Amino acid sequence: MNTQPGQFEEFRTKMTTANVSQAAQRAFEHSYQRLLAGDTGMIPESEIQTVDELPRLDDIGTGKSPASELLSQAVVIKLNGGLGTSMGLERAKSLLQVKDGLTFLDFIVRHVLHAQKQHATPVRFVLMDSYSTSEDTMEYLRRYSELGPRDKLELMQSQVPKVDAKSLKPAVWPANPQLEWCPPGHGDIYPSLLGSGLLDQWLQEGRRYLFVSNADNLGASLDLRVLSYFADSNKPFLMEVAERTPSDSKGGHLARRGQRLLLRESAQCPAGDQPLFQDITRHRFFNTNNLWIRLDSLKDLIVKNQGFVPLPLIKNKKTIDPRDSASTPVFQLETAMGAAIQCFEDSGALVVPRSRFAPVKTTSDLLALRSDAYKVTEDWRVALARPGGEPPPTVDLDPKHYKLVDQLDQRLTEGVPSLKDCQELVIRGPVSLNKGNIFRGKVSVENPAPEPQALPAGIYEDGSIKLG
């Protein structure tokens, strides 16, 4: 570290007092050092090259049976730190009912338990929780005693201080001291693994392969084809990517700098380069956040860098109280776990079907998932129901009337409409739907009145409907 003496001491004292691990402190100090050095985290177009061709999951593993014995060397981590506040939720997002009365967590656990039974191999499974999600999640897991002791099922996410944008010292907010802290982004998984002792423990147990994905992405199942491919490749790091579509134009994309792959997020792209960033024919692949990591390679990288993974800085400008725009301006220093792709030599990427990327970020996503466009498989995955699987229906619900889960539920009291043959559904205004609504092709429904109106049961195909 090249931080000048004394510059980081206030942060170190604050983090030590809050029992933040030494590993997390080293990682945060690296980010803070980049901030002091004037690192904006920007990656201009002139510094990168496009990625044109990659191996594809559909082309591998067809002539070889996946090695189920690899499961005994694998660990599955689901990122479970989010509350889903943008959808009006107040507890772990993974506890939201998504289909057939089951939550994200139900599907995740049942899939793991099915794999264990099918292959007669205990699958090491861990949730990466935050201080906001831990209690509710661990209580919910009481119903799955087959998983074993709950204290073996959790990896705790760290918290880091917000940085006063003017003084670059720890931000202070006596009215609510908890607002002085923020989550460090999912790049925190690396110092958390080290600081918890789990990385060393798993290596001693003979674990070699780590699969990490988001809890709200039920497409991210443990796929033995990918595990076998990753093991055979001897690569230290593998990112699952998917083809970008127009709806993905503002999301992060894969690129190359010299011989190494890298991940560039929108916040890391200069304004003048945004048109090229959003050109999906130029930058063709996006990160699904389904990652495969060799644990021994991760440990070697951490040792090489004196105790941390040197992830690129993501500097977010905020106010210390997000509900008060007049409160103290701060920087939140974050990292992305996918950005580690540039930290390993010979990292790889694998193009996977869109079905392995089905996150629920909005109520529009939730409606699609609850509908018959998705089916529950024998091994407790949620898969696209239509022949060939892709693409999923695009749903666009009026945010004025459907932004919150409670609002969506109010519009679905008579059941969920059929979307299995729907390409696109757009709803504007307060429209109540029911199980008798069958949408096919591209359909839009508008209710210009402020009072909710019900859409009569029937088949609606390739057209616009205006109620009232």
Asked whether residue 397 falls in the same domain as residue 337, the answer is no
CATH number at residue 327: 3.90.550.10
Asked whether residue 340 falls in the same domain as residue 374, the answer is no
Asked whether residue 367 falls in the same domain as residue 329, the answer is no
Q: What is the pLDDT tens value at each position of the chain, 468 positions in all?
A: 444 556 899 999 999 999 999 999 999 999 999 999 998 888 999 999 999 999 999 888 655 555 678 899 999 999 998 888 888 888 899 999 999 899 999 999 999 999 989 888 888 999 999 988 999 999 999 999 999 888 899 999 999 999 999 999 999 999 999 999 999 989 999 999 999 999 999 999 999 999 999 999 998 999 999 999 999 999 999 999 999 988 888 888 999 999 899 999 888 899 999 999 999 999 999 999 999 999 999 999 999 998 999 999 988 899 999 989 999 999 999 999 999 999 999 999 999 988 888 889 999 999 999 999 999 999 998 888 877 656 789 999 999 999 999 999 999 999 999 999 999 999 999 999 999 999 999 999 999 999 999 999 999 999 999 997
Domain boundary residue among 356, 386, 409? Answer: 356
pTM of the model: 0.92
State residue 2's pLDDT score.
Answer: 47
| Residue 25, H or E segment | helix 22-36
Distance CA 195, CA 20 (A): 9
Distance CA 214, CA 424 (A): 25
Asked if 214 and 94 touch (Cβ cutoff 8 Å), the reply is no
Asked whether residue 251 falls in the same domain as residue 104, the answer is yes
Domain boundary residue among 326, 356, 386? Answer: 356
Work out how many domains the chain is built from and give that number.
Answer: 2
Asked whether residue 161 falls in the same domain as residue 18, the answer is yes
How many other CB atoms sit within 10 Å of the CB of residue 63? 5
Domain span including residue 31: 9-356
Asked whether residue 63 falls in the same domain as residue 42, the answer is yes
Residue 425 backbone zone (phi > 0: left; psi -120 to 50: alpha; other: beta):
beta
Domain boundary residue among 316, 336, 356? Answer: 356
Asked whether residue 349 falls in the same domain as residue 399, the answer is no
Asked whether residue 264 falls in the same domain as residue 223, the answer is yes
Asked whether residue 213 falls in the same domain as residue 328, the answer is yes
> Burial level of 325, CB count in 10 A (0-12/13-18/19+)?
exposed
How many other CB atoms sit within 10 Å of the CB of residue 4? 9
CATH number at residue 378: 2.160.10.10
Asked whether residue 374 falls in the same domain as residue 319, the answer is no
Asked whether residue 367 falls in the same domain as residue 226, the answer is no
| Residue 306, H or E segment | none
**What's the token pair of residue 161?**
């201080």
Asked whether residue 227 falls in the same domain as residue 278, the answer is yes
- Cα torsion 337, 338, 339, 341: sign: positive
What residues form DSSP beta bridges with 34? none
